[in-house]
Amino acid sequence: MEPKLEHAEGDANRGWPVRSAAGSHVDAGSSRRAVAPEVGRMRAVVQRRYGPPSVLERVEIELPEVGDDDVLVRVHAASVHPGDYFVMTGAPYIVRLAYGLRRPRHGIPGRDVAGVVAAVGKTVTDLRPGDEVFGWSTTGTLAEYACVPAHNLVRLPSNLSMVQAAAVPTSAFTALQALRDIARVQPGQTVLVTGASGGVGSFAIQIAKAFGAEVTGVCSTRNVELVRSVGADHVIDYTRSDFTRSGVLYDVIFDNVEAQPLSVVRRALTPAGVLIPNSGRGSRWIGPLGRIAKARLLSRFTRQTLRPFLSLPKRQDLLALADLLGSGQLTPVIDRTYPLDDAADALRYVGAGHTRGKVVVTV
């Protein structure tokens, strides 16, 4: 098909040149029209087999084909998170059922993206070339261009940088859906978040505060000030204090670390409280499924609710997050940025498990 290209005025878009799918500048004064793109290539990070970060290769490949409902995004930033690391390594092995048994089905890693619309499919009407957008892709984002269904993108809030926007989707989806849909947090409730300085945790602190909760974050000594700075009312340094032995009870515990057994963490829940385990850790074969099954079984014998869940990306939730970002109630915490050529180092750092906020690859 032939993607539609459209002129973007002046040097808006924070100084990034608006480019067509072939990498050429869109002519000044052009109107909305169908233009056959020239054959073009792009830099990308690819993997041809599962394994450690060393399996990633930096290559030049053809630009992705733009479908009728798709948007070609000139990528400026793409965040990476633990899920990307699991998919890269293919462990736990159960992830291969979804991503490819012998090798990754999609060779380009990455899910979250922010950039500028370069071209749109012929049925796309709400986005135009030159629009700054962020969202998620299922076919890879660690490249100069990404082909993304238009439904998966929204416009960038004016107060957000590309790097900040790329940090949002996957981790913030998880925090939002856990607190709003599973815990149903209400004003005045008490919420405890473990792993409070991580990608999901730092979003969870802010979202719980936006819902009117009294929030406690659990983290290490070096991250106490960071967790306080994102809005936590109370901060517990786990190297000095064990929240399960403090005698304080919480309406909601969002456990992003799972450093202690469920039966121990439940001690800190109110009698009708909600515990949400959220960690990808577990056996090499089935990952966290054993803990998920145990949590669901325990819930049958107590008034407390133990609800592990699977976060799913949704457009309406991306719009809700954009509103929180635009109003200043939600601000991404950026730990480190890496250039595209160092994407393997970015994933290696994420895999070590000690990020403070989010890690972003810039293109």
How confident is the model at residue 163, as a pLDDT? 98
> Does the pLDDT value for residue 248 go beyond 70?
yes
158 with 20, same domain: the answer is yes
Q: Which residue has the higher pLDDT, 173 or 290?
A: 173
The residue from 287, 306, 325 where one domain ends is 306
Predicted confidence band of residue 9 (pLDDT cuts 50, 70, 90): very low
> Does the pLDDT value for residue 340 go beyond 90?
yes
In a domain, 319, yes or no: no
Q: Which residue has the higher pLDDT, 255 or 17?
A: 255
How confident is the model at residue 7, as a pLDDT? 34
Q: Look up residue 49 and give its two tokens.
A: 């087999």
How confident is the model at residue 10, as a pLDDT? 32
240 with 301, same domain: the answer is yes
252 with 271, same domain: the answer is yes
Amino acid at 151: H
164 with 174, same domain: the answer is no
The β-bridge relationship of strands 56-62 and 70-80 is unpaired
48 with 147, same domain: the answer is yes
Percent of the residues in the chain that have a pLDDT greater than 90, as a whole number: 71
CATH number at residue 282: 3.40.50.720
Cβ(359)–Cβ(336) under 8 Å?
yes
How confident is the model at residue 274, as a pLDDT? 96
In a domain, 213, yes or no: yes
CATH number at residue 339: 3.90.180.10
Model confidence, pTM: 0.84
pLDDT (tens digit per residue) in 22-62: 333 333 333 233 333 445 899 999 999 999 999 999 999 99
> Does the pLDDT value for residue 214 go beyond 90?
yes
Average of per-residue pLDDT across 280-299: 60
In a domain, 228, yes or no: yes
pLDDT (tens digit per residue) in 81-140: 998 998 898 876 677 676 666 778 789 999 999 999 999 999 999 999 999 999 999 999
20 with 122, same domain: the answer is yes
In a domain, 204, yes or no: yes
How confident is the model at residue 290, as a pLDDT? 61
138 with 21, same domain: the answer is yes
How confident is the model at residue 15, as a pLDDT? 30
192 with 160, same domain: the answer is no
How confident is the model at residue 26, as a pLDDT? 33
Domain count, the chain: 2
In a domain, 232, yes or no: yes
144 with 180, same domain: the answer is no
183 with 220, same domain: the answer is yes
How confident is the model at residue 28, as a pLDDT? 30
SS3 for the chain is: CCCEECCCCCCCHHHCCCECCCCCECCCCCCCEECCCCCCEEEEEEECCCCCHHHEEEEEEECCCCCCCEEEEEEEEEEECHHHHHHHHCCCHHHHHHHCCCCCCCCCCCCEEEEEEEEECCCCCCCCCCCEEEEECCCCCCECEEEEEHHHEEECCCCCCHHHHHCCHHHHHHHHHHHHHHCCCCCCCEEEEECCCEHHHHHHHHHHHHCCCEEEEEECHHHHHHHHHCCCCEEEECCCCCHHHCCCCEEEEEECCCCCCHHHHHHHEEEEEEEEECCCCCECCCECHHHHHHHHHHHCCCCCEECCCCCCCCHHHHHHHHHHHHCCCCCCCEEEEEEHHHHHHHHHHHHHCCCCEEEEEEC
163 with 196, same domain: the answer is no
Residues spanned by the domain of 345:
4-168+333-362
In a domain, 137, yes or no: yes
Mean pLDDT of the chain: 86
In a domain, 255, yes or no: yes
Amino acid at 317: D
Average of per-residue pLDDT across 321-338: 98
How confident is the model at residue 91, as a pLDDT? 72
339 with 356, same domain: the answer is yes
In a domain, 317, yes or no: no
